[in-house]
């Protein structure tokens, strides 16, 4: 277990319950929206926020996870308004992560000192920009500005994550971008298989776990 005290410790128990909620939502993801489905999706990351608070993690980490859980609650429901509220929630969460990574990072010198970091950034940012360009050509005009803002913020998030020495955090940020790319493709590109939904959720949940553990342990 990642925290002291074994499976009986409060921290490890909270992480286990979080994983259980994430797994339950994975099983129910294809079902129609319901309060139970929404509660499980929200609880998965809300419990990570509780874990960060219990372990004395940075306020910005607790805030980012808690606001992400709010975004999950919105996105667990159908409707344009809830989608925009979810998008706004995650934009705020990413801003919190940006500040957190900026404070924890070593700046551009670290990126340039290890070859894998700029190579990874080039692949992730290039893929995200290509996909975003395709999506923006197909969405309604009033959605373009919110989506551009979101893409800009999440790419800044992964860029600042790459300045942090801990590889877990970099991996988490990359998984976050990959999850959002799959979600965007599924929502806005008709040719994308709906079967990618479970993959997107798994990538997203592990992204949040890796970032949280990268900060806390």
* Per-residue model confidence as pLDDT tens digits over 57-71: 999 999 999 999 999
Residue 96: what pLDDT? 98
User: How would you label 184-203 residue by residue, b for 16+ Cβ within 10 Å and e otherwise?
Assistant: bbbebeeeeeeebbeebbeb
Residue 192 has pLDDT above 70, yes or no: no
* Per-residue model confidence as pLDDT tens digits over 3-58: 888 888 999 999 999 999 999 999 988 888 899 999 999 999 999 999 999 999 99
Residue 4: what pLDDT? 87
Residue 193 has pLDDT above 80, yes or no: no
* Per-residue model confidence as pLDDT tens digits over 106-129: 988 999 999 999 999 999 999 999
């Amino acid at each position: 277990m990642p925290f002291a005290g074994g499976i009986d410790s409060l921290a490890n128990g909270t992480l286990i319950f979080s994983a259980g909620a994430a797994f339950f939502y994975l099983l129910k993801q294809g079902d129609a929206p319901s309060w139970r489905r929404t509660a499980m999706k929200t609880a998965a990351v809300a419990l990570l926020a509780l874990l960060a608070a219990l372990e004395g993690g940075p306020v910005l980490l607790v805030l980012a996870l808690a606001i992400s859980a709010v975004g999950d609650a919105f996105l667990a429901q159908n409707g344009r308004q809830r989608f925009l509220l979810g998008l706004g929630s995650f934009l705020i969460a990413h801003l919190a992560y940006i500040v957190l990574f900026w404070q924890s990072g070593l700046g551009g010198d670290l990126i340039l000192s290890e070859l894998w970091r700029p190579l990874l950034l080039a692949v992730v940012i290039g893929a995200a920009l290509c996909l975003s360009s395709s999506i923006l050509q197909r969405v309604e005009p009033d959605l373009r500005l919110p989506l551009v803002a979101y893409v800009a913020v999440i790419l800044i998030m992964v860029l600042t994550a790459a300045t942090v020495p801990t590889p877990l955090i970099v991996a988490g940020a990359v998984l976050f971008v990959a999850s959002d790319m799959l979600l965007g493709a599924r929502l806005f590109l008709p040719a994308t298989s709906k079967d990618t939904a479970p993959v997107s959720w798994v990538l997203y949940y592990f992204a949040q776990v890796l970032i949280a553990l990268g900060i806390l342990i």
